[in-house]
């Protein structure tokens, strides 16, 4: 099957009717007052509302005790549905957990069956934590087929599609590659999975809140991600989408009392929840979920298509200026295949990270990548481009 690069993401970016005005939102994020914050691809800035949510959690715990669960459980489900609305997931199809590594382990426990398929397709650019989950299953008979990148930036769609066959149990697709920002063609890979009867599992941690997407349009089985990047939600609030018609057939072996249809009945036989909560396992991280709510609400209010339009415009210009400065750009030049991050590399980039951080210019360095730099909806244009003269100064001193 040949995939046309010209049409792979057709319709994924709707033209917003209005533009994002950063100054409207900057006062909601305290760190922006004294830092050049270009690291939302790694950890989004904390909104003021997170303070209020954590204080509310403290008040409810202090004054209501065990009765606080009456507020916490509905809030848990509401937050899951709010996140799901950002990628087209229907209510009840998203569950929350502390991190995506655990969520993937839960999914694996649900889809790996005795005598079943054993081939799993991954890539050498997948986020390592998720790769480890599959790697440790090899001792139980799973076999990894690792699709390799030809350049450390992209994963050829044709190579992913051709790797899926009748023996494939699952394909792990990183929608946005963390080392480069490359956007994989999830729709094409998901179609290949459906044709061969394999599960399509998408890691969208690097893209939810920055790139428009729709799980129904893609036709994927699972999507996992977390809140502390583009969603500005802090750590401890990860989420899993499971295709609604698939949920009733899955009984994860990793489970807990919140996986039960009636968790507070404390029954000694398992009766799985009818919706995605069957993947929730044990006691949820209520403070982490409450802290995440403010950022998710703001992103929802701003609108992901508007965020994407501005991100594409600013990152395109950043790449042009970086190339003029002689920097190596380890991100796709084609806007359709780039998330919200631009990777800039040069000799000494690892040490430059520390110098920039000392100046309160927040970026990060990754091996085989360079400095990762990104604007978000609250980033001023001159703020983004100010990193280039700073890099020039650093390079001159070396």
Q: What's the burial of 199, exposed, middle or buried (CB within 10 Å: 0-12/13-18/19+)?
A: buried
Helix pair 286-302, 304-324: axis angle to 10 deg: 80
Comparing CA positions, the residue from 44, 96, 39, 127 lying closest to residue 280 is: 96
pLDDT interval class at 10 (50, 70, 90): very low
If pLDDT is split at 50, 70 and 90, which confidence band does 20 have? confident
**22-47+303-396 CATH, one of 3.30.365.10, 3.90.1150.10, 3.40.50.800, 3.40.50.1380:** 3.90.1150.10
DSSP per-residue string spanning 318-363: HHHHHHHTT-EE-S-SSGGGB-S-EEEE-TTHHHHHHHHHHTTEE-
- Span 299-319, average pLDDT: 97
φ, ψ of residue 207 in degrees (nearest 5): -135, -25
Q: Model confidence at 46, in pLDDT bands (50, 70, 90)? A: very high
Topology at the third CATH level for domain 49-300: 3.40.640
Cβ–Cβ under 8 Å, residues 26 and 32? yes
Please state the domain extents for the chain: 22-47+303-396, 49-300
Which has more pLDDT, 329 or 16? 329
Digit-coded pLDDT (tens) for 340-383 = 999 999 999 999 999 999 999 999 999 999 999 999 999 999 99
Do residues 371 and 364 lie in contact, with contact meaning Cβ atoms separated by under 8 Å? yes
**The length of the chain, given as a count of residues:** 398
Virtual torsion, Cα 61, 63, 68, 70, nearest 10 deg: -160
For 156-200, what is each residue's pLDDT tens digit? 999 999 999 999 999 999 999 999 999 999 999 999 999 999 999
Percent of the chain whose predicted confidence (pLDDT) is above 70: 95
Tell me the DSSP string of 11-47. TSSPPPSS---HHHHHTT-GGGGT-EE--TTTSPPPP
Give the separation between CA 336 and CA 338, rounded to whole angstroms: 6
Question: pLDDT tens, 66-88?
Answer: 999 999 999 999 999 999 999 99
- pLDDT, residue 16, reads 52
Mean pLDDT over residues 204-216, rounded? 98
Q: How many whole angstroms separate alpha carbon 132 and alpha carbon 140? A: 14
pLDDT at 8: 35
Return the pLDDT at 44: 97
- pLDDT tens for 52-67 read 999 999 999 999 999 9
**One fold for both 22-47+303-396 and 49-300?**
no
């Amino acid at each position: 099957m040949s995939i046309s690069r010209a049409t792979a993401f057709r319709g994924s970016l709707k033209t917003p009717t209005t533009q994002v005005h950063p100054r409207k939102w900057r006062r909601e994020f305290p760190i922006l007052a004294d830092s050049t914050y270009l690291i939302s691809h790694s950890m989004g800035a904390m909104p003021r509302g997170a303070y209020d949510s954590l204080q509310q959690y403290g008040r409810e715990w202090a004054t209501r005790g065990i009765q606080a669960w009456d507020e916490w459980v509905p809030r848990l489900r509401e937050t899951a549905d709010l996140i799901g609305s950002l990628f087209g997931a229907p209510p009840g199809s998203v569950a929350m957990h502390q991190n995506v590594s655990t969520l993937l382990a839960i999914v694996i426990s649900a889809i790996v069956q005795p005598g079943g398929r054993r081939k799993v397709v991954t890539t050498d650019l997948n986020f390592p934590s998720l790769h480890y989950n599959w790697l440790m299953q090899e001792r139980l008979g799973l076999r990894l087929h690792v699709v390799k990148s030809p350049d450390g930036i992209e994963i050829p769609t044709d190579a992913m599609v051709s790797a899926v066959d009748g023996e494939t149990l699952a394909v792990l697709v990183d929608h946005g590659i963390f080392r480069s920002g490359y956007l994989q063609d999830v729709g094409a890979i998901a179609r290949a999975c459906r044709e061969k009867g394999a599960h399509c599992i998408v890691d969208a941690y690097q893209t939810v809140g920055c790139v428009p997407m729709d799980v129904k349009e893609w036709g994927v089985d699972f999507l996992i991600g977390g809140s502390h990047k583009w969603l500005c939600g802090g750590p401890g609030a990860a989420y899993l989408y499971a295709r609604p018609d698939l949920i009733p057939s899955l009984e994860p072996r990793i489970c807990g009392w919140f996986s039960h249809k009636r968790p507070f009945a404390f029954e000694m036989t398992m009766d799985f929840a009818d919706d995605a909560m069957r993947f929730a396992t044990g006691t949820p991280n209520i403070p982490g979920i409450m802290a995440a709510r403010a950022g998710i609400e703001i992103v929802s209010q701003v609108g992901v298509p508007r965020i994407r339009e501005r991100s594409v415009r600013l990152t395109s210009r950043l790449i042009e200026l970086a190339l003029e400065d002689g920097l190596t750009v380890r991100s796709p030049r084609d806007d359709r295949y780039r998330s919200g991050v631009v990777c800039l590399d040069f000799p000494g980039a690892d040490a430059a990270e520390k110098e920039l951080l000392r100046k309160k210019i927040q970026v990060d360095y990754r091996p085989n990548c360079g400095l990762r730099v990104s604007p978000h909806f609250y980033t001023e244009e001159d703020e983004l481009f100010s990193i280039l003269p700073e890099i020039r100064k650093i390079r001159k001193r070396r």
